[in-house]
Amino acid sequence: MGWFFSLLLIFLSIGSYYLTDNNNQTIQRMKLLPAKQEAIEFVHFANVINDYLYKYPDKRNSGGTLTSEQIGITPVYDIHHIIYGKRVYIWSADTEGLMSALQQQTKHSAMLGKVKNKKIVDNQGNDMGVPVPSSIPEEAIVLIN
């Protein structure tokens, strides 16, 4: 009978290990979920702005920002944009998992970077060679269009 309890204890220990490991994986996925949602909104925001500028190309030349009324959405997350030098810069503060989620969402776009020393650098740390508007803070994640 003692062997039965020993065997039962072994199975419970193994089961507990797998259950704990599975819970840790679930917790990690849940931590990254807000970043994935923000990345989806980030790209949607960029698309809405581009659609607006396609309809009103003169706005691209005038620069500045567009209002929520003009583009028809208000971002839930702290996502900003500016039209500068005929380019659209969409940016947000760097949060855990956001860059990775944006890379997935944009299929590793070459126009995705991060502001470092007032330069926008790609994932390899290379200067992208585009001017950085003064309104974009250091360490922000930027999508250029």
Summarised one tens digit per residue, pLDDT across range 81-127 is: 999 999 999 999 999 899 999 999 999 999 999 999 999 999 889 99
Q: H or E element: which one contains 4? A: helix 2-55
Give pLDDT, residue 22: 58
Residue with tokens 């208000």: 74
* Residue 19, in any domain of the structure: no
CA-derived radius of gyration, the chain:
22
Q: How many domains does the chain have?
A: 1
State the average pLDDT for the chain. 86
Examine residue 9 and state whether it is found in any structural domain, yes or no: no
Residue 28, in any domain of the structure: no
> pLDDT band at 137, cuts 50/70/90?
very high
pLDDT given at position 65: 95
Return the DSSP state at 137. P
CB 139 within 8 A of CB 114: yes
Which residue range(s) make up the domain with 122? 33-144
- Check which CATH number belongs to the domain holding 72 and give it: 3.30.450.360
103/105 Cα distance (integer angstroms): 6
